[in-house]
Amino acid sequence: MHQYVQVGWREEAIAMADQVLQLQPKNPEALQVKAAYASKNSAISHGKASESKIQSKPRIRSQLKRTSKGKYNAIRPPQSDIERDEMEDNFTTGIKQIRHIAADFHEDLVVVSKLLEQYETTDFWKERTASVLALSEGRFNAVIDGGAPCSVRELCRMIEAQPDEAIDLAADDFVNIVTWFRQEDDAVDLGAVRDRLVRRVRALSAALPEDLQFVAEQGLMHAEHEGLGKTYVNDETMLGDSILDIPRSRFWVSSDNYAWDMEELVNCLTARSGVMRNPLSLEMFNAEDVETIVTHPLGITLGAAQVEQEKLANGVRLSTIKAMETLSAALLADQTADQAPTRLALDVFKQYTATLPKAERDGLDKLQVPAVDSHTGQKFDSSIGETIRDAIGNKTCAHKAGDFLGQAARHLKRTDRNASGSI
């Protein structure tokens, strides 16, 4: 199309632009060509190819000329506030166009990459899909090859000056570090690159104030995902989306190396009354992961759920815990065919709970504690109240219910609140 423009073949250039627009209706270069020829001032001389020009607006003509030659001339500094505003508007529009094109291209690239997975080019497509996704999100530093990295002190100053963008600044810098190291030596081992990156992370963490030190680790997490191609226990989210499609603002990796879409994870944990259990492995999240989840912008509401669980546990008195131990022992000891001792023990416990205050009954009904099946090793994932109701309704084995209630009683007795006088 641009070759036809250069040699002055008007009809051929328009025909080629039409073909491009059939494939991509919003292609900016094809639209510019058509707009240039449609303009009243678009008369094209039919002289020599070297003298052919497009008689259109100066900005469109210069864009077409630069695009056709593949080179860009130095931009002239603005001479007035009006020119500066116009340049800023053009720049903003150009950025939006790039992101829009990249978003469309990313959708096509994901489809093509899945079709070609049989050719064992997963790493090839993974890297390119991540790069196009970064462009669509406006993270150009993660894609464009940068020069030598800035000093850690300079990076620290930028992060302190823009705390709201701190994680993105650190992540973009670390991704640029990876790109820079690999440019210097194409055969460099990724392990060596990561070692050098970790040293920079440690240096940045030491230079940042205490309330921003978490930024270094978060930036490393994103750099490993976007620049080093780190693999995780899971390669899809809970809803079946590819890990590569998770936006940076929602991407998180837990200590057990599971990758999460934070929006999905928070919704799942909220539905489970805020119990901090890994929905995929059914293991409890460790303290560091819990702190990260409840302080994440999407997980702030889970902090209230954690407080509620603590209040529920604090409301269980010592006599109730002893009643749970008695019930557990009865359920585990019952080996009769008609399970009469089990039914009797459940009735006694039910009568006891009927005398409790409503707040404590609610606590037993909703409280979830960490416990595992002593025989199978599987995690129990129900509340105390649900387990008792299932045992009464014969929905669960009495021995399994006794196993869970015994562990729940021991968990409640081990907590510090026993010494606080609240039970």
Tens of pLDDT, residues 299-328:
777 765 555 555 555 557 778 888 888 888
396: DSSP letter: S
**173 and 251 co-located in one domain:** no
**203 and 265 co-located in one domain:** no
**215 and 110 co-located in one domain:** yes
Question: Is the pLDDT higher at 123 or at 86?
Answer: 86
**Residue 103 forms part of a structural domain:** yes
Q: Out of 50, 70, 90, pick the residue that ends a domain.
A: 70
**62 and 108 co-located in one domain:** no
Quick one: pLDDT at residue 259? 93
**Dihedral angle of Cα 23, 25, 29, 31, to the nearest 10 degrees:** 130
**Residue 306 forms part of a structural domain:** no
**Residue 92 forms part of a structural domain:** no
Residue 236: count of CB within 10 angstroms of its CB = 14
Spatial neighbors of 339 by CB under 8 A, at least 6 apart, are 398
**186 and 154 co-located in one domain:** yes
**161 and 254 co-located in one domain:** no
Cα gap 418→355, rounded to integer Å: 21
Quick one: pLDDT at residue 141? 65
**Residue 200 forms part of a structural domain:** yes
**120 and 180 co-located in one domain:** yes
Quick one: pLDDT at residue 411? 79
Residue 154: count of CB within 10 angstroms of its CB = 11
237, 260 contact by CB (below 8 A): yes
Is the entire prediction scored with pTM above 0.75?
no
**135 and 194 co-located in one domain:** yes
Quick one: pLDDT at residue 377? 74
**50 and 120 co-located in one domain:** no
Structure tokens at 110: 């994901």
Coil, helix or strand at residue 111: helix
Coil, helix or strand at residue 36: helix
Q: Provide, for the chain, the percentages of residues in helix, strand and coil under a 3-state DSSP scheme, each rounded to the nearest 5.
A: 65, 5, 30
**252 and 284 co-located in one domain:** yes
Burial (CB count <10 Å: 0-12, 13-18, 19+), residue 411: middle
**pLDDT tens digits for 343-365?**
888 888 888 887 777 777 777 77
Nearest to 54 by CA among 71, 68, 74: 68
**Residue 323 forms part of a structural domain:** yes
5, 20 contact by CB (below 8 A): no
Q: Out of 180, 196, 226, pick the residue that ends a domain.
A: 226
Q: Is the pLDDT of residue 241 over 70?
A: yes
Spatial neighbors of 402 by CB under 8 A, at least 6 apart, are 327, 328, 329, 330, 331, 332
Cα gap 376→282, rounded to integer Å: 14
Nearest to 352 by CA among 321, 382, 331: 321
**Residue 86 forms part of a structural domain:** no
**Of 67-76, 142-151, 326-335, 391-400, which gets the smallest average pLDDT?**
67-76
**218 and 114 co-located in one domain:** yes
- CA dihedral for 66, 71, 130, 253, sign (positive or negative): negative
Burial (CB count <10 Å: 0-12, 13-18, 19+), residue 134: buried
Q: Which residue has the tokens 């015994």?
A: 406
Spatial neighbors of 109 by CB under 8 A, at least 6 apart, are 125, 128, 129, 132
**Residue 308 forms part of a structural domain:** no
Spatial neighbors of 390 by CB under 8 A, at least 6 apart, are 382, 396, 401
**102 and 214 co-located in one domain:** yes
Cα gap 163→220, rounded to integer Å: 17
**pLDDT tens digits for 387-402?**
888 888 888 888 888 8
Range of the domain at 166: 98-226
Quick one: pLDDT at residue 95? 87
Task: Calculate what percentage of the chain has a pLDDT beyond 90.
Answer: 5
75: left (phi over 0), alpha (psi -120 to 50) or beta: beta
**Residue 232 forms part of a structural domain:** no
Spatial neighbors of 204 by CB under 8 A, at least 6 apart, are 152, 155, 156, 170, 215, 216, 219
Number of domains making up the chain: 4
Q: Out of 226, 260, 281, pick the residue that ends a domain.
A: 226
